[in-house]
Every structure is written in structure tokens, then in C-alpha cells.
Amino acid sequence: MLEVKIEQYPKARFSYGGDAYNSAYYLALQGNNVYFMSSIGSDKPSQRLLQQWKKDGVKTDFVHVSKQKKLGLYCIETDSSGERSFSYWRDNSASRYFFLEADTKQLLTQFNRGDWFYFSLISLAMLKEQSRAGFITFIKALRQQGVSLAFDNNYRPELWESQALACDYLDQVLPLIHMYLPSVADEMALRDATQKSVLAQLSALKIAEIVVKNGADSCHLYTSSGHYRYQFESVVAIDSTAAGDSFNAGYISARLNKKSAQAAVESGCQLASQVIKHPGAIVPADKLTLR
């Protein structure tokens, strides 16, 4: 999506982002072979964005070009503590129609056993309701092909028809995934639950690897070898837009490169702590120290 960042109203800065793309960008920066799957328009802004993704090192073989639709747009305003508020214009964006227009059967043939597919609850939220069932069918087919699934519970209430519907799709996804990267805040909002009960519920899930982000405070890791809690050093945030997305990218990259889950948490923290010191979701590589 196109991103409009309000810096000092009415002045604004144009960029691009979206939670799944943010993670794809930071995964690619770390030298991973990353393909992004989405839909754009045939208009000039869409084509500029496609070329920029290629410059970012993200492969675009799975990007569908719609002849009827255009890009979505979102606006971010950030307060003095780095916390954000969002406004969206995406009702008619190309990405919402991906599973109605793209040839997903052909896409499935491009995946190999051992590949990873990363998505989030926003990936489902942004789709037209009639497309969501197609997405669930698609990820089930990926799993059957031996593709591993990683998932973040990013929850934006304004993108869903109801909280109950968001929870219903979340509950459909959880039995399918191999790696879960939720935040406590989103889980609390989805389940109307306390932090204590959320952690208890997450620890009971039958998922091989669960990494629970608890804001700037801590992180919990649940694997077959046990439960680990990590306390973070305090970092002054300029903009927390891609905090969770970059953490996920750091964590997944470390795991793809055969690091332990415990070491991967440190990698995720190290990357996220740098990203939040800069404005915007996409921080240029020359401003980051990548391990």
C-alpha cells in the first residue's frame, strides 16, 4: 500500500508499506530469498511500487497486476511517544481481490517442500469476504505440499466486519501453522482477555514454535524444550510502525539460517530496536547494522 506519514500537518511524506511487506523487506535485507505475493494495479503508482520492491531485493514473481483495481492507501500519525494511529483507504484496492483474480493453482506449483510462507491476520482482514475462504484453502494446500507456515496475529479492528469474525478466522488458521508470532496486545484485544490469561492460552496451543511479543517490555518463547522469558532494554522509539514486523523478520531470518530459537529472539530484538529509532516502516539498509 501507499503510505502517507503526517509529519507536521499539513506536511506529509509519501512512502509504502504494509505489515507483510515490511517483514518481507527486512527478510530480504538479511540476504534471504524472498518473494512477495500480492496484487497491484496497472496505474503508474503501482508500477513505480513494483520497481521499488525489486530494488529492495524482494522478488515479485507472485505479484498479480489487476486491470480494474488500483493500490490502497493508508495514513499514519505518530504521537510524542512513537505510538501510531492509522486511517485506511483500501476498500477498492487491488490486493483485496487477489484470490478472486489471481491463478492460485498456478501459484501453488511454484512452492517447494521446505519453503516458508509468512502471513498475518491483516492478510485475511484486507480481503473481500468471498476471498477469505480461498485464502484458507490456499494455505491448507501449501501445508499439504510440505510448506511451513508462519503467522502473526496483527489485529486492526477497523478492517474487520466484527471482532467475532476476526476470531473465527484466527481459530481456523491456528491449527495449520508451524510458527506463531503474536503480540500480547492484539491477543488481548481479540479475546477480550487479560495479559495473564492470554499467556496461559498461548502456552497451551499445540504449535511447534510460539514467540509472544509483549511490547517494549518482554518476549515469551514457547517450544518443545520449554518456556523462556526475555526482558528487553529500554529503547526510545521515534516510530513503532514496523516494530513487530521487523522483529518477525529478524527472528525468522535467524531460524532460516539454523540459529536456535533462543538466539533468534535476540536477532529479532536487535533488528526491531534499530528500526523503531527511525521514521516510517521502511528504514534504508545504510541506517541499519545487520548481523
Instruction: Give the active site residues.
Output: 245
| Residue showing cell 518482554 | 218
Check whether the bond before 10 is cis (ω within 30° of 0).
yes
d(CA 183, CA 17): 20
The C-alpha cell 541506517 sits at: 287
Q: Kind and range of the H or E element at 151?
A: strand 148-152
CA distance linking residue 62 with residue 43, whole number of Å: 18
SS3 category, 34: coil
Check: CB of residue 36 under 8 Å from CB of residue 59.
yes
Q: In sequence order, which residues have a C-beta less than 8 Å from that of residue 117 and are 6 or more positions away?
A: 111, 139, 142, 147, 148, 149, 150
